[in-house]
Structure formats: structure tokens, C-alpha cells
Amino acid sequence: MGRKRTCELPFCKGVVEGTRNKRRCDKDRNIHLHQVISKNVKKIMKYLEGCEDFTANDVNRDLFKTRLDKNEKGSMYRLFQAMVREGYLLERGKRGGLKVYAYSGASTPQSEAPAEPEKPTPIKVEKPRLSPEEVLLGKLREFVHTKSGQWNHDDWMWLINRPDIKEFGISEADIGRIIEEEKARYWLQRNSA
């Protein structure tokens, strides 16, 4: 392990340990800042504050002339994730397969604890429970409407042998009676319209 010093992030009070090329903050074991990133944190932050939105590739292109290798880009990505947790950056979806970030406008967060982004609570829409009779009636009514009030013997056999109709345990005679009532209602509505 190398010498100890304070973290490069202005909003972090942690102590950094590690080798010359790879450092780790004791406040966040997941941040491994490579030397090129840790030396340029203030420069990166100044750049981020002037951008409407950006990706890691934008920062690499504009500040480092596309010279960062994949490990250093990963280090920059972990830096962005720490900034998101601290409320310094906001995530804005994806562009070209990369996460898009935006400066939140806060110079430093007020709280020491990382702020959890609020998730909108899903609105639960309670659907009224239908009785088995109502479900069966809906299926038979749908059959009458899809056949436009006319069907043949093959259509009838297909209907009474459907597993979702058989599961109700209603006799073919009762299904026939209900379907004839629905047929009469269908033609009444159609002729009166």
C-alpha cells in the first residue's frame, strides 16, 4: 500500500490508500481511481458543470484527446457513479449504449449520507373481480360478435371444446341457451342501430 491522503472528491471526507496507479477510498470500496483520473478530478468537474449532458466518451474525447484506456475509462465511470450517489450528477438514460449524465446544479450536497433517488410509486389500479359466470358470459358474447351473429356446426364444436370454456363445467345445452340469447341481443342491437 502507498501513502494515505484525502479523497480527491470534494464531497468525500475519506482517506485514499493504494498504489501509484490505482487508489481506493475507504468511504467507498468500489471507487478505484487510476492516477490519470485522480489527478484530473477538478478539471473533470469543471468540464461537467459546463455541459448540458455528457457520456464518458465525451469527457474522454474533449479532455483527454481519446487517450484513456479501458481501465481508465472504467475508473472515470466509477467516479461518475460516486457523483450520482452524492447528488452531484444525474443520470439521463442512455445514448449509443452509454449512460448519459447531467450536472445537477448543486456545488456540493448537504448531507453526508448518499441520497437515494426517489422512485415514483406505481399506481395500483384495482380491477373489479368478475364472477365465473360473468367471465363465461364475456367469452360467449365475444364469440357471437367475432362470428357476426352467425356460425356453423364446426364453429359450435370448436367453441364447446375450447379448454377455457370447458373449465366452467357448464353443459352444452346451457352454453347453447346462453349463446342463443346473446345472438338475439346482438341482432337486436345491430338492427336498431
Please, which pLDDT band fits residue 112 given cuts at 50, 70 and 90? very low
Decide: 4 and 18 in contact? Cβ < 8 Å. Answer: no
- For the chain, the farthest-separated pair of C-alpha atoms sits apart, in whole angstroms, at 91
Per-residue pLDDT tens over the stretch 48-98: 888 888 888 888 888 888 888 877 887 788 888 888 887 888 888 888 888
Domain edges within the chain: 5-103, 132-186
**In 3D, which of 42, 43, 18 has the Cα closest to residue 28?**
18
Q: What is the pLDDT of residue 177?
A: 93
> Can you name the CATH fold of 5-103?
Arc Repressor Mutant, subunit A (1.10.10)
**In 3D, which of 24, 20, 21 has the Cα closest to residue 2?**
20
> Does the model's pTM come out above 0.75?
no
Decide: 14 and 27 in contact? Cβ < 8 Å. Answer: yes
Pairwise CA distance, residues 48 & 151, whole Å: 68
Per-residue pLDDT tens over the stretch 126-164: 767 888 888 889 999 999 999 999 999 999 999 999 998
**In 3D, which of 29, 44, 106 has the Cα closest to residue 76?**
44
Residue 19's SS3 state is coil
Q: According to the 3-state scheme, what is the secondary structure of 103-156? A: ECCCCCCCCCCCCCCCCCCCCCCCCCCCCHHHHHHHHHHHHHHHCCCCCCHHHH
Please, which pLDDT band fits residue 110 given cuts at 50, 70 and 90? very low
Decide: 66 and 72 in contact? Cβ < 8 Å. Answer: no
Grid coordinates given for 157: 364444436
The number of helix segments (H) and strand segments (E) in the chain equals 8, 6
Geometric angle at alpha carbon 179, from 174 and 183, rounded to 5°: 150
The DSSP symbol for 180 reads: H
Decide: 27 and 7 in contact? Cβ < 8 Å. Answer: yes
